[in-house]
Amino acid sequence: MALHLIKLCVGAESIRDLEEWIEERMRERRRQKLPQEQLHTTRMVPKRVEELLDGGSLYWVIKGQLACRQRLVAIRPFTDGEGISRCHLVMEPVVVPVSPRPYRPFQGWRYLTAKDAPPDLGDGSASAAEMPEELRRELASLGLL
């Protein structure tokens, strides 16, 4: 069964903001003739790599809500130029909105089991997927979505 990660999406105001950031990074990678993959650098290397790569995703918390996810395709530990161990989380550059859920701030990342992961929007909730993100966020905060 897949295992997931949760991480704060610092600086993003919305799912669209995250998508625009990813699009800009992909354009830059094309200009540099680099592989079309999205990398997120983290300090700690997850210990449960096999479970994460068995269909796992990185779930993003945006403005206090679990808002979307990206499928994990690789986890690459490396040492940076200053000799510090780090890790690239490699994700598909496709953002999938999920049923919003409040989430408190935290540092680093956390594991999320498949049974605790929110469903994707559009999986039986097409009307919610069509709502503007701000409306979904407000309805979720009121416990109505």
The torsion angles phi and psi of 139, rounded to 5 degrees, stand at -65, -40
Instruction: Summarize pLDDT for 76-95 with one digit per residue, the tens.
Output: 999 999 999 999 999 999 99
E-strand stretches of the chain = 3-8, 38-42, 57-62, 65-79, 85-91, 96-102, 109-113
Q: Domain map of the chain by residue range?
A: 3-141
pTM over 0.85: no
Instruction: Summarize pLDDT for 44-79 with one digit per residue, the tens.
Output: 899 999 999 999 999 999 999 999 999 999 999 999
- pLDDT bin (cut points 50, 70, 90) of residue 25 is very high
